Amino acid sequence: MAFRTAITELLHIEHPLLQAPMAGVSTPDMAAAVSNAGGLGSLGVALMAPAAIRDAIRSVRAKTDRPFGVNLFVPPWGDDGNSAGAPAPLAAFRQELGIGSVGGALPPWPDYREQLSVILEERPPVFSFCFNVPTPEDMQALASARIVTIGTATTLREGQALVAAGVASVVAQGHEAGGHRGTFLGKAEDALVGTLALVPQLVDRLRVPVIAAGGIMDGRGMLAGLALGAAAVQMGTAFITCPESAAHASYKKALAEVQEDGTAITWAFSGRPARAVRNRFVAEMAPHRQEFLPFPQQRGAVAAIVQEAAKQGRTDLMQMWSGQGVGLLRPRSAHELVLDVVREAEEARATLEGARR
């Protein structure tokens, strides 16, 4: 029997399963495949120029007539970085990769106002976001465009701030989650609450449906999220190895070898905390945290290295976001993954019901 929840009603989807928006990894093909399978596919467009965002949204629309989401990083991002110095290992990494001291500059960071304007014009059914709360004017504009808003919280206080701003739903992001932490109030180190503890505390205290995220990889995880009171689950890491993913081939291959203790939260790639595979780059940069630049400048400082590392297939120096559920990865198409996870959740529910009798 299908799972009907406040989120399946709100978003007009069949299954309470959202594919996480993943900047640099999610694609129109992935989002459309997930939506066509009855979940909610999402595009992480934070790194994209406004014109590219418009094209991506139109590309999803050409592949599905089902609802889908689009996701941005909402500024201001806070200043977590300290100095303008380049941490010592960067020069050594450059030398090792043979890229000298210059090159690899990133294009300017896309303008959030222009990105949001495209979203307001194109009107995807869902807009999700992380890193902050949009201004009251922007929330009003999104409501007028009839776009459903979903914010990201890593603590109850953040969830309450999002609800006060008028979001329709809150993603409760546990510390198991791959990629950037959404934390925007207080210190990220204090907001490392696991999914199992975080979700029910938000469910009990927020008056909007909560979406569980972090470490959910299969039907057992989906059912657990729903049992905690979440109205849906959001899965990111599970989709990285899908054929529709834009992740580099070496990144996909490397994830197959990583286990539950192989990731860490690091500031080294962007200046904001994010969970990534604990490779040599993460380990050797860790002692230099005080020298990192704030987000997103740190990203610029390391861009040449991680790009060249990807080109050379050097997974010891690549940026590879991953959640702690990585050992449960099962590469398959995004469409199959959604259907398999939902079927497994239904089977797990039936098993539990059988055990009760």
Q: Where on the chain is the footprint of ligand FMN (CB under 6 A)?
A: 20-23, 25, 44, 46, 71, 130, 152, 173, 176-180, 213-216, 234-238, 240, 321, 323, 325
Provide the β-strand partners of residue 193: none
Q: Which is nearer to ligand FMN, 183 or 237 (CB)?
A: 237
Secondary structure of 243-271 as H, E, C letters: CCCCCCHHHHHHHCCCCCCCEEEECCCCC
148 forms bridges with which residues in the sheet? 126
Residue 134 sits at the vertex; the CA angle it makes with 129 and 137, to the nearest 5 degrees, is 140
- Of the pair 158, 291, the CB lying nearest ligand FMN is at 158
Smallest distance, ligand FMN to C-beta of residue 220, A: 14
Which residues partner with 17 through β-bridges?
Answer: 233
CB of 314 to ligand FMN, least distance (A): 18
- Name the residue among 229, 252, 192 with its Cα closest to residue 22: 252
Closest residue to ligand FMN using C-beta atoms: 236
3-state helix, strand, coil in the chain (%, to 5): 45, 15, 40
What is the DSSP code string of 219-245?
Answer: HHHHHHHHHTT-SEEEESHHHHTSTT-
CB 153 within 8 A of CB 173: yes
Strand ranges (E), 97-219: 126-130, 148-153, 169-173, 179-180, 210-213
Q: How far apart are CA 150 and CA 163, in angstroms?
A: 10
Q: Which is nearer to ligand FMN, 71 or 266 (CB)?
A: 71
